[in-house]
């Protein structure tokens, strides 16, 4: 099996990776690759193989299980849920899962509706906007910041840090971004501890205790808040923007949704499947030789589970390149699968539904701005989306 250099595909792959994934999948569900950053890895592109890999304990998240290397964010900030394995993962997830109940998420609905309305009010007079900057970004960032109790004045700072970590612009080095974020979180947590109990998620996480008295250490708390702030907005920004872009590029589907908002749940789920916000899951590492789809992934290998690739597998989703909001997209992997399934999925779905319905109701003539220029796609294999989405109404 030859090594596939994804970087050699150039900007066409970044803009539309799906034909490349289809070609790879036609010759097998797993391939040895070089990532666009030049990292050797095994990429899983078949749906069934991807789903199985996400739940396979032989593919671990902790780098130290296979190499003597500590990632910069773990060194500076601490180990978060996405980078640990049982029993550590089991313990951390148990400690925090109680703060992500359906009741807590549903209680946010009125505030999300209010925020969406305020953002659309601000947009309306201009007749055109960058939907990412004016709406898709500020909605989820405000929600997660208010949920955690992060001051509004600090949001621009950590947006800059977050951007460099998930889709680098070169404005900061990775170390500058991680250290800036880490120092900020230390101050935030210390301020919240000193202020005493409050009705926000960070205060609840500081105070949370298991029945046996276990609680989050400072590095664990810092790492969890770091993960929530990044994952709590970067993914939802692109859930909203990618789904709107798909609707605007498929006028028949947009018209169907406008005519019947009972299709909204299906539109969100199809958006997640068709062009979801996470292209490939974060790195896993093989702790032993693992057979996958006729190949063997060697012990010590970096493994990338292609969520976007699996979502277009015709063996699971017939006619997968068709965007169809009436499709049954159940089983898509946009939020992962297994023990690392996204804690924030209910909140992302809530925000996505409110955002898209509010936008379409407010602007009946919404369309892509023909004068907006070419789209700039986010680099790398983690977050799928564009830096801007010019629209007009």
Q: Which residue has the higher pLDDT, 53 or 100?
A: 53
Alpha-carbon gap, residue 89 to 85, rounded angstroms: 5
Mean pLDDT of the chain: 92
Contact 315, 48 (CB under 8 A): yes
Confidence of residue 210 (pLDDT cuts 50, 70, 90): low
Tell me the mean pLDDT in the region 68-87. 85
Alpha-carbon gap, residue 271 to 77, rounded angstroms: 33
Tell me the mean pLDDT in the region 33-46. 95
Alpha-carbon gap, residue 193 to 376, rounded angstroms: 41
Contact 301, 285 (CB under 8 A): yes
pLDDT per residue over 255-276, tens digit each? 999 999 999 999 999 999 999 9
Residue indicated by tokens 């994934």: 21
Q: Is pLDDT of 147 > 80? A: yes
Tell me the mean pLDDT in the region 108-113. 96
The size of the chain, in residues, is: 393
Confidence of residue 1 (pLDDT cuts 50, 70, 90): low
Q: Which residue has the higher pLDDT, 140 or 159?
A: 140
**pLDDT score at 220:** 87
Residues 6+ apart with CB under 8 A from 119: 134, 135, 138, 139
Q: Which residue has the higher pLDDT, 126 or 219?
A: 126
CB atoms within 10 A of CB 164: 20
**pLDDT score at 211:** 60
CATH of domain 4-392: 1.10.630.10
**pLDDT score at 191:** 87
Global pTM reads 0.94
Confidence of residue 206 (pLDDT cuts 50, 70, 90): confident
């Amino acid at each position: 099996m030859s090594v596939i250099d994804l970087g050699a595909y150039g900007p066409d792959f970044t803009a539309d990776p799906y034909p490349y994934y289809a070609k790879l999948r036609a010759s097998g569900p797993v391939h040895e690759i070089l990532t666009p950053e030049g990292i050797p890895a095994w990429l899983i592109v078949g749906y069934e193989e991807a789903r199985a890999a996400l739940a396979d304990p032989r593919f671990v998240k902790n780098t130290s299980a296979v190499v003597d290397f500590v990632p910069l964010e773990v060194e500076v900030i601490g180990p978060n849920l996405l980078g640990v394995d049982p029993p550590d993962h089991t313990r951390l997830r148990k400690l925090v899962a109680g703060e992500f109940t359906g009741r807590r998420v549903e209680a946010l609905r009125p505030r999300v509706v209010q925020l969406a309305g305020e953002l659309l009010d601000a947009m309306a007079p201009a007749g055109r906007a960058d939907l990412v900057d004016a709406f898709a970004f500020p909605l989820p960032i405000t929600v997660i910041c208010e949920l955690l109790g992060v001051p509004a004045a600090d949001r621009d700072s950590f947006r800059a840090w977050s951007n460099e970590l998930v889709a680098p612009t070169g404005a900061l080095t990775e170390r500058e971004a991680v250290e800036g974020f880490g120092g900020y979180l230390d101050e935030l947590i210390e301020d919240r501890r000193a202020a005493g109990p409050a009705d926000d998620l960070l205060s609840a996480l500081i105070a949370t205790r298991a029945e046996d008295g276990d609680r989050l250490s400072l590095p664990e708390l810092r790492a969890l808040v770091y993960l929530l702030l990044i994952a709590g907005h970067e993914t939802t920004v692109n859930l909203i923007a990618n789904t709107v872009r798909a609707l605007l590029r498929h006028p028949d589907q947009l018209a169907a949704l406008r005519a019947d908002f009972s299709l909204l749940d299906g539109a969100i789920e199809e958006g997640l499947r068709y062009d979801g916000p996470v292209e490939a899951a974060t790195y896993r590492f093989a702790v032993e030789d693992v057979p996958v789809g006729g190949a063997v992934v060697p012990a010590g290998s970096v493994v990338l589970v292609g969520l976007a690739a699996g979502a277009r597998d015709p063996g699971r989703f017939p006619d997968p390149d068709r965007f169809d909001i009436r499709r049954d997209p159940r089983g898509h992997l946009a939020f992962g699968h297994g023990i690392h399934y996204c804690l924030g999925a209910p909140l992302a779905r809530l925000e996505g539904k409110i955002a898209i319905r509010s936008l379409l109701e407010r602007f009946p003539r919404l369309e892509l701005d023909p004068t907006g220029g070419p789209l700039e796609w986010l680099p790398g294999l983690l977050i799928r989306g564009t830096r801007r989405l010019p629209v007009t109404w």
